Amino acid sequence: MMKPITRFAGLAGALWLIGGPVYAAEFNLYLNCKGTLSASSKSKAATLDLAMRDNNTTALIQKSNVLPVGERLRYKASQVSYTLLYKLPLPGTVYYDDWVRGQWMVWQPNLKKLATIRLSIDRQSGELEGELLDHDDQLLGNLEMACEPQSMDEVPEPRF
């Protein structure tokens, strides 16, 4: 005769198998943004691919030449826009040194003071506006991009 606990465990296992796969990170919106980064009368091309989740309001930086790839940002959604805030790691950390010195300082030495990046994406027009700020919230530069939504079918398949 089967004990009730064994019967329960078997039923739970069967339901788990019937339920199908559960995906760890289901993103509902993919944005492909292109534009310019301007700082101290210099500008350069900027790209940013974001994957956004509604259930916990995080955005994953999938590809970018202006923000650190792999970082997750919290965003706030309103009827008008998505707003994102990225605080850089503290100066002196290995992560900060690798990212900032490798990509930013060669192009614009004034960005050594960079501490915060604020982004706003208009939900109607797809325009992204961003500010690069120092520790005193003084403006160091601007990001201006146009974002296009992509479906999961348009996102390239991983090669590996």
CATH of the domain at 69: 2.40.160
Residue 133 CB-half CA count within 13 A: 13
The rounded distance, in Å, linking the Cα atoms of 86 and 71 is: 9
Between residues 8 and 29, the one the model is more confident about: 29
State the burial class of residue 106 (Cβ atoms within 10 Å of its Cβ: 0-12, 13-18, 19+).
Answer: exposed
The rounded distance, in Å, linking the Cα atoms of 26 and 14 is: 24
What predicted TM-score, i.e. pTM, was given to this entire model?
Answer: 0.72
- Residue 9 domain flag: no
- Residue 81 domain flag: yes
Between residues 61 and 125, the one the model is more confident about: 125
Residue 151 is predicted with a pLDDT of 78
Q: For 85, which DSSP code?
A: E
Mean pLDDT value across residues 56-81: 88
- Residue 100 domain flag: yes
- Residue 142 domain flag: yes
